[in-house]
Amino acid sequence: MISVKNLTMRLAAGGQAVTILDDVSLDIPTKQMVAIVGPSGSGKSTLLGLIAGLDKPTSGSIILDGVDITGLPEREMTRYRRQKIGYIFQSFHLIPTLTAQENVAVPLELNGDPGARGRAEELLAAVGLRDRSGHYPVQLSGGEQQRVAVARAFACRPPILLADEPTGNLDSATGRQVIDLLLGLNRDHGSSLVLVTHDAALASHAERIVSLRDGRIESDKPSRR
């Protein structure tokens, strides 16, 4: 269960305080797939980053399976995130000096998994990149890089998967493959899946669509899938 309570985020920009999220509350049950939609600048990425503990809110809290992550010291937050949360960035964020296999192995090695390399190979095979494991990110297409990023985010089988516009940089056919991968992980492993998207095709797969506007929840409805 992801529980977002009265979350507010204010930042100073050009000497002025700007309210980016304004008293947002949201409960996401375990295994649910939610799409977060809304215009550019409405606070979607900020909300997702706060749920991942990448940033601290001005006020309010985020409780993941009973743990209030807003109160965790940075070191504990990092460990918690590694075990519980897979994050997929719009722009992939692969490490350029590591091969696909090494990129996927990073979170496993950080968790002390002695079979990290083998498991990375399996994960790459599962995303259709068995023969690409020795390739560096520059040698991969955008869709292939995003599939490596999905494999990496899921490497430690996190109960929570967060994806910020995972198909934003992909053509529709490649986007489709990434959508199918995410849906499969949500379905087969019961990972909660929260994704930010402009893509109506992707949002239509969610059980629920939360729409943000100017840092507030404008609507929160079951999708008509």
Ligand X SMILES: Nc1ncnc2c1ncn2[C@@H]1O[C@H](COP(=O)(O)OP(=O)(O)OP(=O)(O)O)[C@@H](O)[C@H]1O
Binding site for ligand X (CB under 6 A): 11, 13, 18, 20, 38, 40-46
Given the complex with Mg ion, which of 128 and 142 has the nearer CB atom?
142
Residues of span 152-211 touching Mg ion by CB under 5 A:
none
Query: Would you say 7 and 62 are in contact if contact means Cβ atoms under 8 Å apart?
Result: yes
Nearer to ligand X, 142 or 168 (CB): 168
Distance, CA of 34 to CA of 198 (rounded, Å): 13
- What three-state secondary structure class fits 60? strand
Minimum distance of ligand X from residue 201's CB (angstroms): 17
Q: Which residues of 113-151 are buried (b: 16+ CB within 10 A; e: fewer)?
A: beebeebbbebbebbebeebbebebeebeebbbbbbbbb
Cβ 92 to ligand X shortest distance, Å: 15
Per the listing, tokens 């965790």 go with 72
Instruction: For the CB of residue 101, give the shortest distance to ligand X in the complex, in Å.
Output: 30
In the bound state with Mg ion, the residue whose beta carbon lies nearer, of 45 and 103, is 45
Q: 44 vs 132, which CB is nearer to ligand X?
A: 44
Closer to ligand X by Cβ: residue 24 or 155: 24
- Tell me: does residue 46 bind Mg ion (CB under 5 A): no
Shortest spacing between CB 162 and ligand X, in angstroms: 13
Segment near Mg ion (CB under 5 A); pick from 39-47, 50-58, 134-142, 145-153: 39-47
Taking CB under 5 A as the criterion, the residue among 9, 24, 38, 45 binding Mg ion is 45
Region of 27-35, 41-49, 68-76, 127-135 interacting with Mg ion (CB under 5 A): 41-49
Residue 142 C-beta: closest distance to ligand X, Å: 17
Secondary structure E strands in 82-136: 85-88
What is the widest separation between alpha-carbon atoms in the chain?
Answer: 51
* Residue pair 177/192 in contact by the 8 Å Cβ criterion: no
DSSP string spanning 149-181?
HHHHHHTT--SEEEEESTTTTS-HHHHHHHHHH
Specify the residue for token string 């190979």. 121
Residue 34 pairs in a beta bridge with 194, 208
Helix, strand, or coil (residue 12) = strand
Q: Which of ligand X, Mg ion, none lies near 67, with the C-beta cut-off 5 to 8 A by kind?
A: none
Q: CA 158, CA 138: separation in Å to the nearest integer?
A: 27
18 binds, among Mg ion, ligand X, none (CB under 5 to 8 A by kind): ligand X
- Residues in touch with Mg ion (CB under 5 A): 45
